[in-house]
Amino acid sequence: QKEVEQNSGPLSVPEGAIASLNCTYSDRGSQSFFWYRQYSGKSPELIMSIYSNGDKEDGRFTAQLNKASQYVSLLIRDSQPSDSATYLCAVNIPNAGKSTFGDGTTLTVKP
């Protein structure tokens, strides 16, 4: 089992729809979770970090964490073509001083 798994893409949604990106992780002791966005040819940039169970909202983005189910998700409301990118889920490995990235989900928002 991979340490971090993301829903296989690519994911395509129409403009204005909600995009849902999912990530599961294997280490129950993980405490910190991050969503990064990476445009083609660019470096990853942080969208959201989440540390506690529940929802965390920032503008059109909502991260959801459920530690019991070892599940973290990112919802993008009112999706825009500029949201088209690869979204990477990163999970801290406890006491290891490093994070593990999922393989990424490529999102395309069609006008």
Span near other proteins by CB under 8 A; candidates 19-27, 57-65, 75-83, 102-110: 102-110
Which CB, 16 or 94, lies closer to other proteins?
A: 94
Strands 61-66 and 71-76: what pairing? antiparallel
Q: List the interface residues with other proteins, window 37-76 (CB under 8 A).
A: 42-46, 49
Decide if residue 102 touches other proteins (CB under 8 A): yes
Decide if residue 82 touches other proteins (CB under 8 A): no
Q: What is the 3-state secondary structure (H, E, C) of the chain?
A: CCCEEECCCCEEEECCCCEEEEEEECCCCCCCEEEEEECCCCCCEEEEEECCCEEEEECCEEEEEECCCCEEEEEECCCCHHHCEEEEEEEEECCCCEEEECCCEEEEEEC
For residue 87, the minimal CB distance to other proteins (Å) is 11
Which CB, 7 or 17, lies closer to other proteins?
A: 7
Give contact residues for other proteins (rule: CB under 8 A): 31-32, 34, 36, 42-46, 49, 88, 90, 92, 94-99, 101-104
